[in-house]
Structure 1
Amino acid sequence: MATGSPLLVDCEDVAWFRDQPEAARGAAAALGRRIGLGDQRTAELTLAVTELATNMTKHAVDGSLLLRVLRNQEVAGVEVLAVDSGPGMADVPAALRDGMSTTGTLGIGLGAVRRLADTFDIHSQPGTGTVQLARFWPHPAHPTVAGEPVVGGITRPISGEQVCGDAWAARTDTGGQAAPADSDPGARPVQSGTPPHSWSALTGGRLPSERARTDPDHTPPLARAGTLSRSVPVQAAIPGPGQGLLVMSCDGLGHGPMAAVAAQAAVQAFRTGSARTPEQAMEHIHRALRGTRGAAVAVARLEPDGRLLFCGVGNITAALVTTTTRSTLVSYPGIVGHQMRQLRTYEHRLPPHGILVMHSDGLSERWKAADLNGLLHHAPAVIAAGLLRHAGTRRDDASAVVAKAAW
């Protein structure tokens, strides 16, 4: 791995569009103006969005387009993700050549979209579909956004809702000394590395509507899907000497505005906290979610030396994936913010050229490494969108986040 800090940007999901090219065009124009993208850059963003949205409407199956804001401390930009389920492109380089515009669009073609965008990534497979990503930053582009973020994710609300109760976030560990997890006078002691005596001891009761997360008689799906990763439970999760990368996946119970409140409280606690380990982050999030519905949460820490520390509570699926293998990470039942009697951290190794995937139960956990065929060398956000397309359902909020090694 190369040395240095991994590139990260925060995402603010704005809107999904299906078969609405004019609405997507208007939203892109308004979004560019709102974040100060500049008149010319906003016009270029709008042109590209119109091409992508119209192309999907005319030729794709089950196509959706996502507009969202990307931010760091210095600058804000717009990311466009176009996702469909077919028919796919047999010859992507040919589709990107000038003159290959789609019938009835503005005629600029995908090649022009690629030139207009600061970043353009596309994955297409005949019979499966296409994922396209385009990013637009103010010009001249700020040096802090050069390169590809090492973490990317996607969220989608349940059909009929405007807000999503799922969320994800990532941050680097500055290396400062974190306050102990029990420094809050209201915090309960946590026994690390101690297996639960029973599922019911963790859940403190059963919520029928949340059986997959809390039923003491329900075998966690993580124990059934894929191959369990060879992991080492650690009594004290000690961060390495380098700068670590912390990644969180959160699923607020249920869906709608109240689930979104819980998810955003988790994101705020995670981003602003001083936790260095997954367990410390989980305790901070647990305190922040008191008074909310609660959530399923998983937190991972990736080290420059390839170690990965993982702690999960509730029904978040997490796996280490290569082109041929999927190794599932273990979470324990519970509801962060309500019942979280035990925490246990596991240590893993991120495989060479592998990725970390975490997703909510708005995606089926029964996908395989082969289902990500051809995606792993693409941007993390493209991988997450491809997984959502393959395994996502419309019956619940859905989210997926992907992290790659970056050092």
Structure 2
Amino acid sequence: MGDPSRVGEARRYAADLAQRLDFDAIQRGRLAVAVNELGNNLLRHARGGRLLLAARAMDGGVAIELLSIDDGPGMGDLQACMRDGFSTGGSAGQGLGAVQRLADDFDIHTRAGEGTLILARFFRDRDAGGGPVRHRNGFEVGAICVPAPGEQVSGDGWDVAVVESRVDLVMADGLGHGPDAAEAAMAALAAFDSERGALPGNYVERSHAALRGTRGAAVGALRLDAAAGRIRFAGAGNIIGRVISGVADRTLLTQSGTAGLQMRSVQEQELEWPPHAQVILHSDGVQSRWQLADPGVLQRDPALVAAYVFWKFSRGRDDATVVVVRRTDN
């Protein structure tokens, strides 16, 4: 984000999105200030900065997430940078502290010399006291889905369903990128929507039939059972899963093939889901053999974890999607 006019463009887009989703005037105003502060922060300090904005269903309601990603100098003293009045760029130094106060959820990851990730989340529905309405279900889900450079739509898609102590998660990566790839991904998600409750292997087989007539897609499906502490996984094509914590790291690989075109008989994998392990599913827009240089990032909000994986390991030439699921104490 090297052009000051892009901050205004982002602010107008955010205002339009929030209005279409029936956010009230107070929340729209808070979101606009956050976009302005983070956008200007990128202009002043960032190298290769991005400001990403997305709406998603979350905690039984709707939220708008704002993500700032930059390869700038990072923050050597985060606490000092968060204090009002602190500035390294000649500004009033109100930016990060103001965004933290305005957002319903705020998280940040930074390392000196590496760059900074910032998440600000705004919920639509408010309680009588003006606070965000949440309906916790025992899981946290974070995601990032970014189209290939030069494209307006992503050829990737994902969806999640939470039922009691279980999460069903699917991801589809339409072949290539652009509108035709997006059409294939949407067909795969429509199959998931019509087959809620199907086991991963059954879903992948049904998506194979649903995608005939499209260009086809790589698909992956997970069932995460917190009560049993088990994971079931199936897929075709380059969708990759990781089960990762500070002490464990297991990879889930799909079999070869393309749903809608050619696919062998589906085989499910099953493995343990350790209590503190997070499950990360991503498309092949992200490198397949990545390692976290800073495992401490796993303690951050799942949306920030997903953004970190994209930030550090995106191939930079294709659609890229990362979804992170972890259990909470509820």
TM-score normalized with structure 1 length: 0.74
Determine if contact 1:362/1:397 at 8 Å carries over to the other structure. Answer: yes
| Structure 1 stretch displaced more, 161-170 or 97-106 | 97-106
Q: Which residue of 1 aligns with 2:30?
A: 44
Q: Which residue of 1 aligns with 2:250?
A: 327
Q: For 1:171, which of 161, 164, 182 is the aligned residue?
A: 161
| CA 313–108 in structure 1, closer or farther in 2 if over 3 Å, else same | same
Q: Find the aligned partners of 1:280 and 1:74 in 2 and give their Cα distance.
A: 27
| Structure 1 stretch displaced more, 324-333 or 343-352 | 324-333
Gaps of 5+ in 1: 1-16, 174-241
Q: Which residue of 1 aligns with 2:229?
A: 306
Q: Which residue of 1 aligns with 2:217?
A: 295
Q: For 1:385, which of 304, 307, 312 is the aligned residue?
A: 307
| CA 77–338 in structure 1, closer or farther in 2 if over 3 Å, else same | same
Q: Which has the higher contact order (CA 8 A, sep 6+)?
A: 1
| CA 325–85 in structure 1, closer or farther in 2 if over 3 Å, else same | farther
- The alpha-carbon deviation at position 272 of structure 1 amounts to 3.7
Determine if contact 1:67/1:79 at 8 Å carries over to the other structure. Answer: yes
Q: Find the aligned partners of 2:198 and 2:71 in 1 and give their Cα distance.
A: 40
- The alpha-carbon deviation at position 378 of structure 1 amounts to 1.1
Gaps of 5+ in 2: none
Determine if contact 2:139/2:325 at 8 Å carries over to the other structure. Answer: no
> What is the one-letter code of the residue matched to 2:181?
A
Q: Find the aligned partners of 1:147 and 1:404 in 2 and give their Cα distance.
A: 11
| CA 101–30 in structure 1, closer or farther in 2 if over 3 Å, else same | farther
- The alpha-carbon deviation at position 148 of structure 1 amounts to 9.1
| CA 60–324 in structure 1, closer or farther in 2 if over 3 Å, else same | farther
| CA-based RMSD | 2.2
- 1:242-391 correspondence runs (5 A): 243-304=165-226, 305-368=228-291, 370-391=292-313
Determine if contact 1:362/1:396 at 8 Å carries over to the other structure. Answer: yes
Q: Find the aligned partners of 2:33 and 2:135 in 1 and give their Cα distance.
A: 22
Q: Find the aligned partners of 2:60 and 2:137 in 1 and give their Cα distance.
A: 15
More strand by share: 2
Q: Find the aligned partners of 1:148 and 1:127 in 2 and give their Cα distance.
A: 36
- The alpha-carbon deviation at position 127 of structure 1 amounts to 2.1
Determine if contact 2:86/2:92 at 8 Å carries over to the other structure. Answer: no
Q: Find the aligned partners of 2:116 and 2:218 in 1 and give their Cα distance.
A: 30
Q: Deviations over 1:136-160 (max 9, x none)?
A: 1233355335699612111111111
| CA 271–123 in structure 1, closer or farther in 2 if over 3 Å, else same | farther
| CA 107–43 in structure 1, closer or farther in 2 if over 3 Å, else same | farther
- The alpha-carbon deviation at position 97 of structure 1 amounts to 1.6
| Structure 1 stretch displaced more, 253-262 or 64-73 | 64-73
TM-score normalized with structure 2 length: 0.90
Structure 1 residue 156 corresponds to structure 2 residue 146: yes
Q: Find the aligned partners of 2:9 and 2:91 in 1 and give their Cα distance.
A: 15
Aligned residues: 322
Q: Find the aligned partners of 1:131 and 1:104 in 2 and give their Cα distance.
A: 22
**Percent identity of equivalent pairs:** 41
Residue 150 of structure 2: SS of its match in structure 1? Answer: coil
Q: Find the aligned partners of 1:141 and 1:300 in 2 and give their Cα distance.
A: 33
Q: Which has the larger radius of gyration?
A: 1
- The alpha-carbon deviation at position 276 of structure 1 amounts to 3.3
